[in-house]
Structure 1
Amino acid sequence: MKKRLFKIRYIGVILVALIFISCTEDLNRFPTNALTNETQFNTLQGYKQGLVSTYIQLSGANNFFYRGYWELQELSSDEAVNTWGSHKTTELDWSSDHAESADVYKSGLYLITLCNNFIIEAAPEMVSKRGFSEADKTEIAKYYSEVRFVRAYAYWMLLDVFGNPSFATEATLANGDIPKQIKQADLYRFIESELKAIDGTMIAPKTNEYGRADKAAVWSLLARLYLNAEVYSGEAHYTEAIAYSKKVIDAGYSLELNHQWLMLGDNYKNTNEFIFTFNYNNEYVTSWGTTNVFALGASGVPEEINGMSASWNLYRVTPSIPALFPINNPSVDKRAVFWTENDEPKRTSQIEFLSNSKSGYSIYKYRNVDRAGDKIPQKNTYNNLSDIDFPVFRLPEMYLIYSEAILRGGTGGDSQVALSNINKIRGRAYANNPNSSLGNIASKDLNLEFILDERVRELMWEGYRRTDLIRYKKFTSGDYLWAWKGGVMNGKAVDNKYKLFPIPVSEILSNPNLKQNPGY
């Protein structure tokens, strides 16, 4: 039986949301209704309700937070273009009043407020005052560490996308202070220190409830943070990226046999490979901000393939992505799930018009069917909601981080182990067998450019590409061009300011401590 974190329709989730609904615009308002907090956090069940509310907000199960973040990551890169509305994100031509990034910023601050309030209420001294048993105190202490992880992850998203956001901790909230702005390098160090602080108190890898964070999630975020440390802080930390990715690799995870199982409606079975997930269930999670958008948004994919309904015709890929595969179908590399059919005239990979949903390929990676190919039964009034869980961290990312960090000069790794790990990914991709030699590369082929390309092949449409291109110094420069970069069909270099999105104008107007990112 699938253990669903979001199955429980907690009244407390609603209560917490109501308490903080006015905090979207800023983080300096402490709840004035003390009775509400006292009631909410008077029982162990109440604390779990508060924990669940932070996971729900992070996952986009009741909002567009993660969907918005995903779009900023993918639509600004060569991995996706959009059909609907403004194309400013795709063209890397946004201004300081960019609505899409502003929504992500505000949603992130709202989540951080939820976390800060929970951290106040779950502090050991506060729990002791409420007379909980020792067993309950132990359980609440686990929740406390998990919410600190959720906050660290939310801050990492803001760090990566905005660089210099407003910054508040539980002390800011408790004191009613107006948040100050934090520099990118300082926020990097805060996230690092938080993750290291909770490492010893998190539950062991693979022992927590499915969909909740554990030590391996902490290590995974640290590995990702350290891989990008030079971008965030100006200092390289590839040795640390090796160390933390290795901790995850050594924690007992293994690759699932079939890559196309990863994004199916019964992918809760992928616990061998998945480290931390956002959980969705069509009976209990009613939102268009979940994996709905990845399955339904892929242009042209019919319902017999996506397992839901006709395509929204929202997303396609630029020609640069199919060019990285041996052929534009999964007959060789099973990850090449490009949708090229079902249209007359036949689709081509070229995107001549951004507003034409039939101009360019899309992908059918996300499918709301089970491993046998049967649709997941719908138990909702919409009859069109996703059960595909989203793997925030999975083992191949750790293999790729380990290998790249070695190639970038980090110490403590083994280049032959790195090669073996990469070939496991490719054996699975070519033969549904991580131990297969089909698809293997030799040590001379393992270089940084190969890793960048392999990250696309393995992690396509999982929300990494913008960050990867920035790390490789290809995002804004003329060294690598893709369709519609800079607003022209063949691409052009753009201003370096686009490495960060702007701080929303509304936030700057409402908080005198904030300054705009350079160039806006």
Structure 2
Amino acid sequence: MKKLEYILLLVFISFTACTDVEEEVYDKYAAKDFYASPEGSDAALASVYAQIPGNWDGVGYAGADNGWYDLNSMSSDEQVIPHRNTGDWQLEFARIYLRDWQASNYLLNNTWNWLYQSVFRANTAIEQLEEAGADPEKIAEARVLRAFFYYLLIDDFGDVPFFVKNEQPVDSIPQTSRTDVFDFVVSELETYIDDLNTVRGGNYYGRLNRWAGLTILSKLYLNAEVYTGTPMYDECLNVLNEIINEGGFSLHSGEADATHPLGSKYYELFGDVCPNDETIWAIYTTTDVVGRNIFTIRSLYGSDATLLVGYGGWNGTVVPPQYVEMYDDQDVRKRQFRYGSDPFGPKPDGFFEYSLEIDNMINPGAEPGAGARNMKFWPAEPMSSGGASNDFPIYRYADILLMKAECLVRQGNADEAKPLVDEVRERAGMNTLTASPTLNDVYDERGRELNWEGHRRQDMIRFGTFTHANGLVPAVGEKYYLFPIPTAALNANPRLEQNPGW
């Protein structure tokens, strides 16, 4: 097991199975004393943090299946699980990729339920901590966590039910405009980030510190024009400059590493423990204990996975050919894709040869070997056929550099953006740009660098490509910028109105 401080293990492990912190029995005075203590305040936060590692039934930000990560990643152009002509795999994944989703979709409902369960737990923790007069830093963690979940809600669904106390019945919670929730989230972040700790790693590995809070705020500012109609690139740059100038982050090494199956230290970013030099906020994972990371095992074919990593794969997720073709051959990031007769990485006797092309998604479906596979998260021990123990980087420094480059290009300062893009490219073994970057250059570099890390749908919407035709994906209308509110949520709360066009 990875070495983490005991208190962090308490935060993630002791509340994995316990989902109702109200079941603890204390009288009012004792409860206030408890939640004011370091142990009690960490226990209050634990219930919220336990929502982030990926697990079955659509729970979590990333790491498992049928939830937020799959919905946001497979609605982009970077990955999909096609239905197979052998009858394998549910149709929802391919339909999401092909822009054929409905309000009754299973992944939509899971995402909605996960986010609102997370908001509910955050509200509970805030109430417990504030009534107890707990350490302001712990209160700030709970409030910034709640802001994070509301940010994800407006990103996916637009106008959403909004509540900060848990007393209201579901059918009485008002639907609040995307702009108003945006304003609330920004206000919460601007107010409480200063109370967050600046420590990186140690007890704060996997927890919110100041730099993670600032990164969430920068994401709000970067996407403000999408959310509210008003760009906020100056505000975004101010926050990014604080992270760059004061956070002490740097790009992790991309030099050759003969000990890693993919031959580069770059892939340490996606291994057992995310490196502290570049990682801003990570999901701590130990499979079957705290979450899981299924991504490579879900991608590889069954017997091929057994040859490569010792456990059977699921023959699921593939990378569309046009996405693989974005990478030059000398780019170390291209090594994550496994296809053809001479793939990068191990080639044991009998390894499976995947074809790059995918010619059908649903009817009759793809051939079993169709589609490049992704090994970015080369499985870390302990692992099983149910997943591996790779931690997941929610935010890292390369994203910060590319966000700043984007803001500068959008403001007409492309010359100043060039060294930022070049720094990311050079780490990957690429040549520097021959001219100052265009917006398309920044967009493509974000696609190459942040593939499979949960950013692509948001980027496609911001850069105006999400509704375009792409490979097997048809062009669609602007209603697809938002997911429909799930049918079950509409049935539970008659005050909700469906998003336009759905």
**What's the TM-score once normalised by structure 2's chain length?**
0.84
Match of 1:260 in 2: 266
Kindly, what percent of the aligned residue pairs are identical? Answer: 26
Once the two structures are superposed, the pairs formed by residues 212-291 of structure 1 within 5 Å of their partners are: 212-250=207-245, 251-258=247-254, 260-268=266-274, 270-282=275-287, 284-285=289-290, 287=291, 290-291=292-293
**CA-atom RMSD in angstroms:** 2.9
- Aligned counterpart in structure 1 of residue 442 of structure 2, from 425, 432, 451: 451
- 2:110 is paired with a residue whose SS is helix
Cα distance in 1 for partners of 2:465, 2:127 equals 42
* 1:73-472 aligned within 5 A: 73-83=72-82, 84-86=89-91, 87-123=94-130, 126-128=131-133, 137=134, 140-169=135-164, 172-174=165-167, 178-204=172-198, 206=200, 209-250=204-245, 251-258=247-254, 260-268=266-274, 270-282=275-287, 284-285=289-290, 287=291, 290-291=292-293, 293-300=294-301, 302-303=304-305, 307=309, 309-327=311-329, 331-341=330-340, 346-354=353-361, 355-356=365-366, 357-369=368-380, 376-377=381-382, 384-409=386-411, 415-430=414-429, 438-444=430-436, 446-472=437-463
What secondary structure is seen at the aligned counterpart in 1 of 2:115? helix
Letter in 2 for 1:18: D
**Residue type of the partner of 1:391?**
P
Deviation at 1:8, TM superposition (A): 2.8
Q: Distance in 2 between matches of 1:425 and 1:360?
A: 27
Is the CA contact 1:263–1:365 (under 8 Å) kept in the aligned structure 2? Answer: no
**Normalising to structure 1: TM-score of the pair?**
0.81
| Cα separation, 1, equivalents of 2:283 and 2:233 | 28
2:19 to 17, 20, 23: 17
Q: Which residue of 2 aligns with 1:28?
A: none
Instruction: Say if 1:282 and 1:506 are closer, same or farther in 2 by CA, change over 3 A.
Output: closer
Q: Distance in 2 between matches of 1:264 and 1:190?
A: 33
Query: In the aligned structure 2, how far is the partner of 1:336 from the partner of 1:15?
Result: 38
Q: CA deviation at 1:341?
A: 4.1
CA distance in 1, matches of 2:373, 2:14: 40
Question: Whole-Å Cα distance in 1 between the matches of residues 167 and 485 of structure 2?
Answer: 25
Distance in 1 (CA, whole Å) between partners of 2:226 and 2:53 is 25
Q: Which ranges in structure 1 are unaligned for 5 or more consecutive residues? A: 21-30, 129-136, 370-375, 431-437, 486-491
C-alpha separation in 2, matches of 1:497 and 1:198: 34
- Write the distance in 2 (CA, Å) between the matches of 1:383 and 1:363: 16
Map 1:50-69 → 2, pairs under 5 A = 50-61=44-55, 64-67=59-62, 68-69=67-68
Q: Report what 2:347 is aligned to.
A: none
| Conserved 8 A contact 2:251-2:278 | yes
Distance of 2:225 and 2:36 partners within structure 1: 44
Task: Mark the CA change 1:366 to 1:345 in structure 2 (over 3 Å): closer, same or farther.
Answer: closer
Unaligned runs of 5+ in 2: 83-88, 255-264, 342-349
1:267–1:322 Cα change, 3 Å: same
Q: 1:11 to 1:82 in 2, by over 3 A?
A: closer
Q: Secondary structure at the match of 2:95?
A: coil
Q: What amino acid sits opposite 1:463 in the alignment?
A: G
